[in-house]
Structure 1
Amino acid sequence: MTTDSTAQHGLKKHSDGGWGLVPVQTRSERFRSRDVADFPAVTGREAVWKLTPVARIAELLSGDLDGSPYPIEAPAVDGISLSWVDRDDSRVGSAGEPEERASANAFSAFEKALLVSVTGESSSEFTVTRSALGSGARGAHTIIEAAPFSRGTVVIRNLGEAHLTENVEIIVGDSAELTVVSVQEWNDAALHVASHFATVGRDAKLKHVVVSLGGGVVRINPSTHLVGSGSDTEMYGVYFADAGQHLEQQVYVFHDAPHSRSRVSYKGALQGEGARTVWIGDVLIGRNAPGTDSYEQNRNLVLTDGTRADSVPNLEIETGDILGAGHASATGRFDDEQLFYLQSRGIAEDEARRLVVRGFLSEIVQKIGAPALQEHLQAAIEAELTVGAPTGAQSSGALA
């Protein structure tokens, strides 16, 4: 099909299927490219953008980006190293490639990739802090590689001001165990759009955690490709949206090997006029993945009127030989019985509400496995609950 013939007959690309006559039929068939020019301008009507406030992040979708290396803080630990590598490094693009324009814009712009190499076999915790990115539009690329049989936890902590679009590649070698935690504690005006691509090798395990507490618009989309027999992933998320804040996650797990396992669990809370969260969970069990065991869930706790939580779980199965697969989603207010139980024991209503929310979100925080970080996040959640906490809000429904 040539450009002349399409122009002659008034044809144009389908927003979700390129030049084909039908949209993409399965999650793994989405178009990919490292070049931003291969993606049309974003209108907000596309399937991957329809729930995102695209006007607020326009500079990350179409504008020029600063792709130079940026300042970081990363105290040294044994078994984990840090370096900058060139664009032609063989690991760049090996875990995944952009499926939408913001990701491709970052891929086209970055000059060097930040490489975190996990090689130690005794588990170490390594934190990379980014707090001086500034207000200019920036594109970035990070690679986290766990060598075969290695163990480690990598925390990417984001603070301050930023207008950032980026790609994060996670490569988990055979029999390795890696935990990656992305913590968003940006200021109120920050914009952050990120695509995380992970590949998990034979008998390897990846725990991936997204914590979003700060930022004006934060959209973190993690994808995990289980490519090795016996591979395993646990993907967790916790988020707290305040007035005017948009927090979004589009999660994808592709079971592409026998006897692989996945567990996805995201929990969030919303309070304040205009607080908005989006969670989309896609799980694809491919035809090459007999013996798969998979489950995904999303839970949202609404604290005030004027908020909106979108939650869309999706499951595709291409083989009948599986151990189990399921999904669940729920959005609701406080459980009256929980509040009554606490108040009947002398706890004031406002404090009882804080205890319920803290307990609801703490289940995910406790999955991280890094005590100091968990303690910090518990305090941050407590601060979110204390500042602008609702009083006397109506309660109905229940969430577990």
Structure 2
Amino acid sequence: MTETTTPTDEKARIGAPSIAGFTEEGESLSPEPVVTGPLGGAAAKSHSHGGGYGIPDSSRAGRLTSYSLADFPELKGTEEEWRFTPLRRLGGLHKDGLDGAAPAVAVEAPEAVRVETVGRDDARIGSAGIPEDRVSANAWAHFGEATVVTIPAGAELDERVLVTLSGAGLAAAAQHVVIVAEEGARAVVVLIHEGQAVVSENVEVVVGDRADLTVVSLQEWNDDSIHVSSQQVAVGREAKIKHVAVSLGGSLVRLTPTVRFAQPGGEAEVYGLYFADAGQHLEHRTFIDHAQPNCISNVLYKGALQGKDAHTVWVGDVLIQKQAEGTDSYEKNQNLVLTDGCRADSVPNLEIETGLIEGAGHASATGRFDDEHLFYLMARGIPEDVARRLVVRGFLNEIIQKIGVPSIEEHLIEAVERELEAGDN
């Protein structure tokens, strides 16, 4: 596979769809933003442009955000953020009436962790972000109660917090989860999505000043499940977030992880792994909003595809705002196509409004096996089918090793092995 890296340009918007193999540059004419919202003052629960930060007329930052479903027009599938998503397979999540039962929530956590079930009026709901699309706003309009998991200030947890969300039916439903790491806390929170469900989910993550939080979102749904999840992270002063998305199960899964730096000095590692089989649609859209100076972000997503009509989508948006001097940002997506009949769409986008940064770039690559790697292994007596599986394991294992939880890593290694075995049959 080959990669392309694009250098930074002041006030440039750079898009590089790997399927076309070109970059497109243009002007971004955003005025200086007014910072409000997550960790920077209460955001009004109405609607706004600019990702909740009031920045009009900027290609990514100017996207409508609102708590009101009525502010979002009905989807046609031609919208930029929905052009890869088959609306006919959304199970009605983009329409009114999410009246089904939300997946049941079970939390395993150390005694210090606070776990609460709260109503819509709880002040922590809406603290990490505002819905950015119609499906997210529809979930906001229809959820009845939320699960709030809080790691208290100063707590350093050696044991992971496990949040299991178990679906038990295909009636369209809404879900809301809030994760709060208070000042100076350190923890790993794992979200496991399993069972049968058609669910639109909003996950809010608030990382307090100098906190260090890892969030792993694992999608292991039944084959007929539909899952659309907006996962918004607000990062405090000198705080760190590691977000890992792993999508293996489900008929259609669409995750939109968003990281916003609300204070200076933050750091974000955003990783993803997906393995699509015949007929599966797995879509991931990351957005890193550098709204504060001296922040660091690194995005790496890897995917494998096998079987007829397996389809993966990765769209990576990075916005470096005018005031975000000292930013250091990089994003990369790699896809490994194992059989004929698959499609992988990969679109990295980079918007830069200041040249006073440490660095910014992106890379994207989609391809088949490297014949030289196969030849090297087969020349040492390894059968071709075993050699291919070794290559795939090595390719995906880079993401698995980022998690840092041995039990989860072992579970994912076994899950990838099952995917490979299914492809051999």
Q: Same fold (TM over 0.5)?
A: yes
What amino acid is the match of 2:111? D
Partner of 1:289, secondary structure, is coil
Find the counterpart in structure 1 of residue 244 from structure 2. Answer: 209
Q: Give the corresponding residue for 1:313.
A: 348
After superposition, the C-alpha distances for 1:274-327 in whole angstroms (9 at most, x for unaligned) are 000000000001111111000000000000010000000000111111001000
Q: CA deviation at 1:226?
A: 0.9
Please tell me whether residue 87 in structure 1 is matched to residue 126 in structure 2.
no
The ranges of structure 1 where at least 4 consecutive aligned residues each deviate by more than 4 angstroms after the TM superposition are: 67-70
How many residues are aligned here? Answer: 370
Which region of structure 1 is more displaced relative to structure 2, 239-248 or 74-83? 74-83
Counterpart of 2:88 (choices 30, 50, 55) is 55
Q: Partner amino acid for 1:130?
A: L
Query: Offset at 1:73?
Result: 2.4
Paired with 2:374 and 2:184, the residues of 1 have a C-alpha distance of 47
Q: Distance in 2 between matches of 1:50 and 1:237?
A: 21
Task: Say whether 1:34 aligns with 2:67.
Answer: yes
Equivalent in the alignment of 1:116: 149
Residues 66-87 of structure 1, C-alpha deviation per residue, up to 9 Å, x if partnerless?
3766522222313322111121
- Structure 2 residue corresponding to 1:263, chosen from 298, 316, 335: 298
SS of the residue 2:93 aligns to:
helix
**Structure 1 equivalent of residue 9 of structure 2:** none
d(CA) in 2 for partners of 1:132, 1:364: 26
Query: Partners of 2:179 and 2:370 in 1: how far apart?
Result: 41
Instruction: Give 5+ residue unaligned stretches, structure 2.
Output: 1-48, 51-55
Highest RCO, 1 vs 2 (Cα 8 Å, sep ≥ 6) = 2
2:328 counterpart letter in structure 1:
D
Q: Does the 8 A contact of 1:68 with 1:111 survive in 2?
A: no
Report the counterpart of residue 180 of structure 2 in structure 1. 145
Residue 184 of structure 1: aligned partner: 219
Residues 124-152 of structure 1 show CA distances to partners (whole Å, capped at 9, x for unaligned) of: 31111122342111001110000000010
Question: What is residue 265 of structure 2 aligned with on the other side?
Answer: 230
Partners of 1:216 and 1:68 in 2: CA distance = 19
The 8 Å contact of residues 343 and 349 in structure 1, kept in 2 or not, is answered as: yes
- Alignment of structure 1 residues 1-400 onto 2, 5 Å: 24-66=57-99, 70-119=103-152, 120-389=155-424
Distance (Å, rounded) in 2 between the aligned partners of 1:70 and 1:350: 39
> What's the TM-score, normalizing by structure 1?
0.90
SS at match of 1:388: helix
Query: TM-score, length-normalised on structure 2?
Result: 0.85
Structure 1 residue 24, shift from structure 2 partner? 4.8
Structure 2 distance, partners of 1:42, 1:303, is 33
Q: Is the 8 A contact 2:102 2:173 kept in 1?
A: no
| Corresponding residue SS for 1:102 | helix
SS of aligned partner of 2:268: strand
Distance apart, 1:44 and its partner CA: 0.5
- CA shift digits 1:98-119 (9 cap, x unpaired): 1111000000001111101112
**How far apart, in 1, do the equivalents of 2:235 and 2:100 lie?**
28
SS at match of 1:313: strand
> 2:35 maps to which residue?
none
Q: Write the distance in 2 (CA, Å) between the matches of 1:375 and 1:113.
A: 30
RMSD: 1.6
